Chains A and B, each alone.
Chain A
């Protein structure tokens, strides 16, 4: 089973629309960390946010917001009033402490196309 599932392979929106990228994770650990990364067309992954399993507060950063819900094992990412510069592949990731060493898992990514 996938540890991190991003069911939306590709999403297309028109500029100024709001868009939500879904992320569902699976873990048995009580302590874990969730991340979102952005990979623009230039290719280099850029870190967006980290959330630990004990902090379910939603976070807002400008046009970006994140909704963490442990009850549904989801960590969704919303872009408000999307812009063309938001076009990228977005990855959700999970980090958990394994028995001997930590483990990392990335989702398959969601490609976001924002059209003018």
Chain B
């Protein structure tokens, strides 16, 4: 069964902390994505990766970075968390751009 897992369902951090959100997929997919979901704004793409060590900025990359050292793992990094990064973060993967994305359960991050 296809699976995308995220390291935490809920996370509370302080302003200025460095935050790591981990995502792992077991489907040998080429593409991996990080989105944030906010009420009324839908899903907004932060970063995506189409191959190991390859990454591309999405629509809202400011304040975030990513790492993909292995095909199955895609990490989202908040270098210095701020309150406006409080959100639901969704990770997804897909075989290619013509294929559907499979989503993880999400991480609800609160930055105090």
Given contacts A43-B105, A52-B98, A105-B45, 13 further A-B contacts (CB under 8 A): A43-B106, A44-B105, A45-B92, A46-B103, A47-B100, A50-B100, A97-B97, A102-B50, A102-B96, A103-B97, A104-B48, A107-B42, A108-B40
Residue interface mask A26-62, B partner, CB < 8 A = 1: 0000000101010000011111001010000000000
In angstroms, Cα B44 to Cα A107, docked, is: 9
Q: Which residues of B contact A (CB under 8 A)?
A: 31, 33, 35, 40-45, 48, 50, 56, 88, 90, 92, 96-106
Q: Which residues of A contact B (CB under 8 A)?
A: 6, 9, 33, 35, 37, 43-47, 50, 52, 91, 95-97, 101-109
B residues within 8 A CB of A91?
42-43
Q: Which of B40, B56, B106 contacts A44 (CB 8 A)?
A: B106
A residues within 8 A CB of B45?
104-106
**Whole-angstrom distance between the Cβ of B1 and the nearest chain A Cβ:** 13
In angstroms, Cα B94 to Cα A37, docked, is: 14
**Whole-angstrom distance between the Cβ of A40 and the nearest chain B Cβ:** 12
Q: Which of A46, A50, A104, A108 contacts B33 (CB 8 A)?
A: A104
The answer on a CB contact under 8 Å between A95 and B97 is yes
B residues within 8 A CB of A96?
97
In angstroms, Cα B33 to Cα A106, docked, is: 13
The answer on a CB contact under 8 Å between A35 and B33 is no
**Whole-angstrom distance between the Cβ of A44 and the nearest chain B Cβ:** 5
B residues within 8 A CB of A35?
100-101
Known contacts A47-B102, A104-B48: does B90 contact A109 (CB below 8 Å)? no
| Residue of A35, A37, A104 most packed against chain B (CB within 10 A) | A104
In angstroms, Cα B33 to Cα A102, docked, is: 12
